[in-house]
Amino acid sequence: MTSPGALALATRGLRKKYGSRVALDGLDLSVPAGVVYGFLGPNGAGKTTTMRLLTGLLHPDAGSIELLGRPFSARDRRRLFEVGALVESPSFYPYLSGRANLRELAAAGAPVPRNRVEELLELVGLRERANDKVSSYSLGMKQRLGIAGALLSDPTLLLLDEPANGLDPAGIVAMRETLRHLASIGKTVFVSSHLLAEVQVLADVVGIIAGGRLVREGSLDDLLTSEAVIRVRVPGTSSEAAATALAPIGATTPMDGLPGDGAEVWLRVHAAPERAADVNRALASAGIFASGLESGSDLENLFLQLTGGEAQPGSEGTFQGIRQ
Amino acid sequence: MRLFLSGLRKLRGRPASLVTVCLLLGLLVLIIIATATVSQRSSGTQAQRVLVLVTFPAAYDLILSFMFGLGGLFAVIYGAAIAGSEWSWGTLKNAVARGESRSRYMLLSFAAIAVMIAIGLVVTFVVGVGAAIVGAKVAGVSTAGLGDSDTLGRLPEEFARGWFAVTEEAALGFAIATLARSQLAGIGAGIAFYFGETFATIFLPDIVKYLPFAVARASVNIGGAAADAANAGGPGAAAALPADTALVLVGVWLVGSLVVALGFSERAEITG
């Protein structure tokens, strides 16, 4: 177990190229011990490449990795004895049962107590189907088995690549509870995801990656505070006057994407949620009456702006949708 | 040890293991029974020649020749299937991510293959001898030579050499599939190499005799007249190396194949 305040995982200047394409371009991660860290980014941002490097599947072109306070390289594989990982889609011998797959996986790497496989089958809810061949499992069942595989050695650091893939809603809730429980007993959970909502409900600390670089990192609370906004709906004809009236409270910009009835527009005021009353008062003083007012975080907007708004160089791009 | 035992358990449950042995066994039994049946309807020199297959002690050597000949091709396929699937299915990735040494994992996986080959050969031999006894009864041939001490005395060494040769051929398939990182590509390339070498014997016998399948065949050619007969006309027969020299080269090819497979595994970037 790492000491409080220590880093469970750190990368410095991590760089990886596939041919001429840069997948990671100097990644600097700092993952505190004992937290759930959400590693957020769009498809092709470099999340899976990072996971592969952290588990020794790939060799970095440059940079360094520290796992649990000690340098990690291809020559020091035993570092991974304290790490559990689910990288990309779960992989198993299709002709073996779920139980046999876990048992054979336990034969590699760190020693595993004899009853650990049964405990994990119970934990992920696969005991009833444990003797069935994995080839008959659904995607969600394979994912659960993959999570069980990652937990085999009771790892101090858990690396999970898109763990919610294929899980049903109940499974996602159970997985969240398990990961939160692990963090509460001092383990570190590093979860990559392209789903902001998933990370928001799960993580203590968030890192956002785009184009192979870390573009934002910090505690979720700090990020939510720094991106706090108040949204206000005013008549379209008064929007400029409203922006002027609200300027002393915070920068005010028009919003797209939230429902309006055509005659009204939404404005975004960058201010803490507790200033909502001030916003209302300022508008009333200017003779403008808001028909809607809500406060919250603009993390999603930040995420889109940093990652999905435009395809990053070297990324897979994003789904464009139908535009009229 | 637990990794090696795990390798054995994985191979035991794998359909490819059973299918490979059953195929080898099925063909051997079919040939023996067909020989016995056909010989009943024939007469003269031709029938006498065919009956060698069910006449002991020569039948021992013929069964071994069949096992080590066709078994070599099956071994290439088997070795390629096992190594290739570790990449295709992503199971090597799991082991590496748990901190397992790549070369140790691959080496012990191959050690398990070698043990499975030995078990498969023993089963095939026992069933083959049983089929030959049945064939002898059907053809009305005496089984008095079954306990021929000279032949039985030679059997352990012949068997050990044959196992070593077949294991070398499996190592070749194992290495090819590792380089290809694919079951299908490994199997395809292994088969192509097997038949390519056989075909090349026609044009380049002095070179081919040093190649892996030719040395494997030559290394088991240690005495039995039937073994010589089985190999007569086979690839490399005319230019075969002495058995002991061939055995050394089998070892060289075996170690070389494993070094290539392990070296590549150690350096490879595991994606997918």
- At A37 the pLDDT is 95
- At A266 the pLDDT is 87
pLDDT tens digits, residue range B219-241?
987 655 444 444 444 444 546 88
pLDDT (average), residues A141-153: 92
Q: What is the ipTM of this complex?
A: 0.86
Scan for tokens 């059997």, then name that residue.
B155
- At A88 the pLDDT is 85
pLDDT tens digits, residue range A258-304?
555 567 888 888 888 888 899 999 999 999 998 888 877 766 777 77
pLDDT tens digits, residue range A163-211?
888 888 888 888 888 889 889 998 999 999 888 888 888 899 999 998 8
- At A319 the pLDDT is 46
- At B138 the pLDDT is 85
Q: What is the mean pLDDT of chain A?
A: 85
pLDDT tens digits, residue range A53-110?
999 999 999 999 999 989 998 778 888 999 999 998 889 999 999 999 999 999 998 8
Interface of A with B in 112-151 (CB under 8 A): 149
A255, A273, B58, B133, B231 from B129: Cα distances, Å: 85, 87, 11, 6, 20
Using the beta-carbon criterion (under 8 Å), do B99 and A52 form an inter-chain contact?
Answer: no
Q: Where along chain B do its domains lie? A: 2-267
Using the beta-carbon criterion (under 8 Å), do B10 and A80 form an inter-chain contact?
Answer: no
Is A65 in the B-facing interface, judged by CB distances under 8 Å?
no
- At A258 the pLDDT is 56
- Nearest-CA distance A243 → chain B (Å): 51
Q: Give A224 or A291, the one with higher predicted confidence.
A: A291
Contacts of residue A55 in chain B, CB cutoff 8 Å? 96-97
Instruction: Find the closest chain A residue to B6 by CA distance.
Output: A104
End-to-end CA distance of chain B: 28
Strands A36-40 and A205-210: parallel
Residue B50 amino acid letter = V
Find the range with the poorest average confidence among A300-309, B62-71, B200-209: A300-309
Closest CA to A130 of A152, A97, A159: A97
pLDDT of B107 above 70: yes
Q: Is the peptide bond before B205 cis (omega within 30 degrees of 0)?
A: no
**DSSP conformation class of B240:** P
Is A108 in the B-facing interface, judged by CB distances under 8 Å?
yes
Instruction: Please list, residue by residue across B59-85, b when 16 or more beta carbons sit within 10 angstroms of its beta carbon and e when fewer do.
Output: bbbbbbbbbbbbbbbbbbbbbbbbbbb
Distance CA(A157)–CA(A33), nearest Å, equals: 8
- Nearest-CA distance B244 → chain A (Å): 38
The two three-digit tokens of residue B229, written as one number: 């007969």
**CATH 3.30.70.980 in chain A, residues?**
228-297
Using the beta-carbon criterion (under 8 Å), do B97 and A91 form an inter-chain contact?
Answer: no
Distance CA(B145)–CA(A180), nearest Å, equals: 74
Residue A26 amino acid letter = G
- At B132 the pLDDT is 92
Which residue from A88, A89, A109 is facing B98, i.e. has the nearest CB? A109
pLDDT of A27 above 90: yes
Backbone angles phi, psi at A56, to 5 degrees: 75, 10
> Quick one: B239 exposed, middle or buried, by C-beta within 10 A (0-12, 13-18, 19+)?
middle
**CATH 3.40.50.300 in chain A, residues?**
7-219
pLDDT (average), residues B82-93: 93
CATH topology for the A7-219 domain: Rossmann fold (3.40.50)
CATH topology for the A228-297 domain: Alpha-Beta Plaits (3.30.70)
Residue B90 amino acid letter = G
Instruction: Find the closest chain B residue to A160 by CA distance.
Output: B97
pLDDT tens digits, residue range B142-196?
888 888 899 899 999 999 999 999 999 999 999 999 999 988 888 998 899 889 9
DSSP A74-111: TT-GGGGGGEEEE-SS----TTSBHHHHHHHHHTSSS-
- At B222 the pLDDT is 61
3-state class of A9 per DSSP?
strand
Residue A276 contacts residue A230 (beta carbons within 8 Å):
yes
Q: Give B162 or A311, the one with higher predicted confidence.
A: B162
- At B230 the pLDDT is 42
pLDDT tens digits, residue range A231-266?
899 888 888 899 999 989 888 888 765 555 567 888
Residues ≥6 apart with Cβ < 8 Å to B34: none
> Residue A159 is inside which H or E element, if any?
strand A157-161
Using the beta-carbon criterion (under 8 Å), do B6 and A104 form an inter-chain contact?
Answer: yes
